Amino acid sequence: MNETKHMSERDQRILERYAEGATLDAIGREEGITRERVRQIAQQLGGPGAQTARAARQAVKEASATQARESFLEAFGPLASDLAHQGFTRPATIARIKNLFPAINTDLAEDALKMSSIVFDQDNSADTFSNIALEAGVWYLLGAELRLKPDHAWAAANLPQELLDELGSHLVEASVTADELATILGIIGAAQRTALEDPTLTITGSRYNELRAELLEAMGLKSAKGAKPWPPTRQTIMKRYEGWNDALESMGLALATKGRQKGLLIFSEEGYAQAIVDFISAASVSSIEPTFASYGQWVKSESVLGIRRPSPAAIRNYYGGWLTALRKAPRLVPTFALESPADTPNTLAENETRTTCQTA
């Protein structure tokens, strides 16, 4: 009787495990019997057929994979979103996370991020060119704008070897001859020499783009999605250096004449910086990470209280990236406090509110 009861309990476990999707081998190891005996018991007692069992195993596998993806995104989704907003591709994001969290499974990370709603750059074109090649594009078009004659001797003595090695590969599609490449390098050299003699030398981003378009047309090239001809686009340079004037400053050129600064249509420079500082403070009090996504939630909560703040997109556009905003803003606010009267409004919106109140 005990043996019959024991067999009945065992058989019941076998049927349940088989219905859940466990393999014959796995059940056999658990119960100490052969996989063939497991199959016989399942058939004799009306257990699920092989096809049904396979479907159950697939369902279990998919559920496990879904849970793993959700766990990964819960842990690393906000970080991946921040990196995506900075222009990182999915592979670059995974590699960056892997560097800091070596234990992650890269296949799982790829699967989870591919299935997520995070939008990554498909191709980080800025990485196509080195810094030297990016700057060389500006030097060349500046030299062309000034109609400088090639200074081959200066170029030979002063241009970095990395540029000489790299530039030819970028111009292969344009079928540039050796003499034409020498001319381009000579004009780059001439522009750099002229900049040493004239500290006011500069070029605006819009003029750079105009000259670039003319050059590409003359070379029989076109700038389109997926195509990355040299010289690089103004946007590529701005992305690498966080702004056009930042690139000029890095090269030792004078800053281009400014219209309004990035983003300064509604909010002042101080308004942008103060928003970041206030958000960091609020995040610290609430024990949350100061991520790009959480900033967006904070802006919404501030709006409910009647406080207008720069949108996440405006912050990213103004500073050139979220991490740049977190780095720069806290250093700027003390400077504004010293330079500006205490009652100076942070934004044009605040100006309008104050004027309305005074009129009333």
Regarding whether 273 and 229 lie in a shared domain, the answer is no
The pLDDT of residue 55 is 65
Q: Among residues 223, 251, 279, which one ends one of the domains?
A: 251
What DSSP string runs through 46-113? TPPPHHHHHHHHHHHHHHHHHHHHHHHHHHHHHHHHHHHHTT-BHHHHHHHHHHH-TTS-HHHHHHHH
Residues 188, 155: contact at Cβ < 8 Å? yes
Which residue bears the tokens 């069992």? 53
The pLDDT of residue 357 is 34
Please give the Cα distance from 319 to 323 (Å, whole number).
9
Taking residue 7's Cβ as centre, other Cβ atoms within 10 Å add up to 11
Q: Among residues 251, 282, 301, which one ends one of the domains?
A: 251
Regarding whether 225 and 135 lie in a shared domain, the answer is yes
Closest-CA residue to 277 (of 218, 327, 222, 232)? 327
Regarding whether 344 and 293 lie in a shared domain, the answer is yes
Regarding whether 244 and 152 lie in a shared domain, the answer is yes
Could you list the residue range(s) of the whole structural domain that residue 281 is in? 269-359
CA angle 187/189/194 to nearest 5° reads 95
Regarding whether 242 and 135 lie in a shared domain, the answer is yes
Please give the Cα distance from 134 to 128 (Å, whole number).
9
Number of domains in the chain: 4
pTM score of the predicted model: 0.42
Which residues have a Cβ under 8 Å from the Cβ of 308 and sit 6 or more positions away? 302, 347, 349
Regarding whether 215 and 103 lie in a shared domain, the answer is no
Which residue bears the tokens 């049904």? 52
With 0-12 / 13-18 / 19 or more C-beta atoms within 10 angstroms meaning exposed / middle / buried, residue 342 is: exposed
The pLDDT of residue 276 is 92
* 54 located within any domain: no
Token readout for 264 is 């300064």
Residues 112, 69: contact at Cβ < 8 Å? yes
Token readout for 91 is 């592979």
Regarding whether 216 and 147 lie in a shared domain, the answer is yes
Regarding whether 131 and 93 lie in a shared domain, the answer is no
Closest-CA residue to 241 (of 220, 255, 257, 223)? 255
Regarding whether 160 and 44 lie in a shared domain, the answer is no
pLDDT in tens, the chain (360 residues): 443 344 568 888 887 777 777 777 888 888 888 888 887 887 777 666 656 656 666 676 777 788 898 999 999 999 988 877 666 778 888 988 988 899 999 999 999 998 887 766 555 444 578 889 999 999 999 999 999 999 999 999 989 888 898 888 888 767 888 999 999 999 999 999 999 888 888 999 889 988 998 888 887 765 443 457 889 888 888 888 878 888 888 888 888 765 445 444 567 888 888 999 999 999 989 888 888 888 989 999 998 898 989 888 778 767 767 777 887 888 776 654 544 444 433 433 443 333 333 333
* 264 located within any domain: no
Regarding whether 188 and 90 lie in a shared domain, the answer is no
* 93 located within any domain: yes
Regarding whether 208 and 305 lie in a shared domain, the answer is no
Q: Among residues 205, 222, 251, which one ends one of the domains?
A: 251
Please give the Cα distance from 298 to 53 (Å, whole number).
49
The pLDDT of residue 56 is 61
Q: Amino acid identity, residue 343?
A: D
The pLDDT of residue 342 is 41
Which residue bears the tokens 């939630």? 297
* 260 located within any domain: no
* 256 located within any domain: no
* 153 located within any domain: yes
Regarding whether 161 and 225 lie in a shared domain, the answer is yes
The pLDDT of residue 46 is 63
The pLDDT of residue 346 is 43
φ and ψ of 288, to 5 deg: -120, 155
* 3 located within any domain: yes
* 61 located within any domain: no
